[in-house]
A and B are shown apart, each in its own frame.
Chain A
């Protein structure tokens, strides 16, 4: 049993649109996994189903060997989630958000307070801890979201576009924390379409395109001799190279 996450035939459709068409996702335990793909590839849908936020239409999901939809008790205590967007309780302060989250997870209040203080310090949010989340910047929101996801010490962490819209300083903090987290043997799965970042951080990559997994494996196997970006464009098929059409575009007007 070396897989942190495994899906079999995971399937989801919205009306006529098949969002995820029977994928077998594999994430080895202790890996830093990048789930990459163009917009609309089904990354967010996949992560939502794996974390129990969206009901799949078919297939099986196991986290550490526990079925997500049949055995939520074992699963929910093991996973930490930072979903797409910046959906947080806006009218709580950063610190209150962490305390609320910890208490929901059944951690005693003094323990939650201790962990929250440490997380706030590491995330460089001490000055902002008593401000309402509604007034946080994007980077601060991602950081407080990550802190909330880490609070109960999950064994698998799912992050949907954690670096989108984050300034370099906050991004650096986020990566440092995540590196430390995986170094201890825990697993991180994050979605992104920033290939450089995935190449720098990840040791395992799953490439999705139009609801399918088109490549999956250790980073070096997937990219081969190329950069990950070149490999990715080959895999998803670079669509249109800008040669045909658009003859009117540009300053050379007729």
Chain B
């Protein structure tokens, strides 16, 4: 709240210069980060974890990039161009989909302050640049100067080029999120973004698919051809300017500066629109009363299953999770196919196991999707058994969707893989993996719950300050499941198809055990889970 006082005291728009605005916003961002961490050990650990990860990425990225200097100059240049472009693309899309990497201010919260748009842009820009991940990318990008500069000219041009590239990343990322923020508030917009994200994932896989289908010529030529195109993109210009180090390089960074300025102007326009465009309220129609109830067990179990299935259908986040799981596993199947050295069963079993893992990951934060409404369960749950029934209902709902999907995917994978009989083993393995993922997910759900934002937030996939916790939960669920499925998956992958018989009972056992243990722990932790999943977003 002190920040708002700071701002209101500077009432006149002229009262605050750009530098003061920048300082104010950076302070605000740091104070928000600190405020979010206060008095919450889990979040502090999460933040430390996130900082460490950013540090590792920064150092490793810098070193790996710098080592490129040892390569022939033209290859280094081409790789540099590709890396710069990939970083920029990452900056556009990662904040849209990934969990809490970038906890930035929502411009909507600043609408009422007497700030000129220019001040707002300067401030938002500064706030975006403050944080572990932006700094990590800046460090990583500056590795490009080491890698590409061939003389003093290269270094001289390299520093502004890296800064401009960094500015380009920030501005592009902000412009896209701001332009979408209006759309993201409406339900229809969120659904569109869902498709967009899946589309993006497909898009990123296309190069891999092409490569796996057989390379047109050798990798060097491909690299040169790709870089030849990307070289004219803004990040490509930056990388090329460093490598060039002469007058052409100067011209290139001038062009880049103009591009950044134009994008900043576009961002201002988007921001101005976003600030005065109201939340598009949605007059919802009635939903059909479902007949689902008659097929489900009665009582608490059936109620939970029915609710979960409705959520999977009506809640955009629920729908997106399933869509992504299916699309990604389909892509995996295709992209693994081209490999010549791998042998039959692994190509069918591997993607199915991964698909099951991805679908099962949704269970790793079971209570998150309920969010603030979880109190309704909490006031009803009087015994450990109630919590177990709730978890069982959720698992049953996941299974109702996932098991047929996995079976279809298995048949598809086996038939295209040339061995239709493998479909049986693949289905069984996939179901087993799903069971293990559910069991592990139940444990993670009660131990590391976190809040999903109410709207698919452009800025974060977890509530502010919980990015690290979300990451830790996903990581724990992934590793836990991956380790526990090894005994059933590995033999089948190496051709011992009969072993798949064990997979389903094994998965059931792990799911059952995970539920039992999770219910014991979760029953004691109900108030804590409730608090963790109902944070303001």
Contacts and interface: CB of A to CB of B under 8 A. Distances in A.
B382 A148 contact: no
Nearest to A79: B379
A73 B377 contact: no
Given A76-B380, A93-B287, 6 more contacts: A14-B39, A55-B527, A87-B534, A88-B376, A104-B304, A132-B287
A52 B299 CA distance: 23
Contacts of A8: none
A108 B378 contact: no
A183 interface: no
A109 interface: yes
Interface stretch (A94-102, A163-171, A189-197): A94-102
Interface stretch (B89-97, B308-316, B351-359): B308-316
A135 B383 CA distance: 33
Contact of A148 (B283, B287, B376): B376
Contacts of B293: 109
Contacts of A106: 299-300
B382 A73 contact: yes
Nearest to A80: B379
Interface stretch (B169-177, B206-214, B258-266, B367-375): B367-375
A138 B164 CA distance: 48
Interface in A139-166: 148
Nearest to A133: B373
B49 interface: no
Contacts of A134: 284
A75 B378 CA distance: 13
Interface in B476-530: 526-528, 530
A72 interface: yes
A63 to B, nearest CB: 12
Contact of B284 (A81, A103, A135, A148): A135
A15 B38 contact: yes
Contacts of B376: 87-89, 100-101, 104, 148
A134 B283 CA distance: 10
B461 interface: no
B285 interface: yes
B530 A53 contact: yes
Task: Tell me whether chain B's interface is mostly helix, strand or loop, or mixed.
Answer: helix
Which one of A93, A104, A106, A132 has the greatest number of beta carbons of chain B within 10 Å? A104
Nearest to B306: A100
Contacts of A90: 373
B375 A103 contact: no
B380 A101 contact: yes
A121 interface: no
A52 B311 CA distance: 26
Contact of B527 (A53, A76, A79, A96): A53
A130 B381 CA distance: 26
12 contacts: A51-B379, A53-B379, A77-B382, A81-B375, A87-B373, A87-B376, A88-B376, A89-B307, A91-B315, A96-B287, A104-B380, A135-B284
Nearest to B282: A135
Contact of A88 (B288, B314, B373): B373
A76 B298 contact: no
B300 A104 contact: yes
Lowest 6 A-B CB distances belong to which pairs?
A103-B303, A135-B284, A87-B372, A130-B286, A73-B382, A15-B39
A85 interface: yes
A52 B379 contact: yes
A241 B339 CA distance: 80
A89 B370 contact: yes
Given A15-B38, A93-B287, A132-B314, A53 B378 contact: yes
Nearest to B302: A103
A130 B39 contact: no
A190 to B, nearest CB: 16
Contacts of A72: 382-383
B456 to A, nearest CB: 14
A63 B378 CA distance: 17
Contacts of A77: 382
B298 A109 contact: yes
A103 to B, nearest CB: 3
Nearest to A145: B376
A52 B269 CA distance: 49
B315 A53 contact: no
Interface in B407-436: none
Interface string A1-42: 000000000000011000000000000000000000000000
Nearest to A97: B376
A223 interface: no
A131 B300 contact: no
B284 A92 contact: no
Contacts of A73: 382-383
B289 interface: yes
Which residue of B39, B284, B306, B534 has the most chain A CB atoms within 10 A of its CB atom? B284
Nearest to B536: A85
A250 B234 CA distance: 54
Contacts of A87: 371-373, 375-376, 534
A90 B285 CA distance: 14
Nearest to A113: B293
Contacts of B283: 135
B394 to A, nearest CB: 13
Contacts of B370: 89
A214 interface: no
A99 B303 contact: yes
B310 A96 contact: yes
A77 to B, nearest CB: 7
A99 B285 CA distance: 20
Residue from A75, A79, A87, A103 having most chain B Cβ neighbours under 10 A? A103
Contacts of A100: 303, 306-307, 376
Interface in B32-48: 38-39
Interface in A56-93: 72-73, 75-77, 79, 81, 83, 85, 87-93
Contacts of B373: 87-90
A54 interface: yes
A15 B39 CA distance: 6
Contacts of A105: 380
B307 A92 contact: yes
Contacts of A108: 298
Contacts of A135: 282-284
Contacts of B282: 135
A154 B138 CA distance: 59
B388 to A, nearest CB: 14
Contacts of B528: 55
A39 B385 CA distance: 38
Contacts of B381: 76
A128 to B, nearest CB: 8
Nearest to B286: A130
Nearest to B377: A104
B310 A103 contact: no
Contacts of B527: 52-55
Contacts of A88: 373, 376
Given A100-B303, A104-B300, A91 B379 contact: no
B446 to A, nearest CB: 15
A148 B293 CA distance: 19
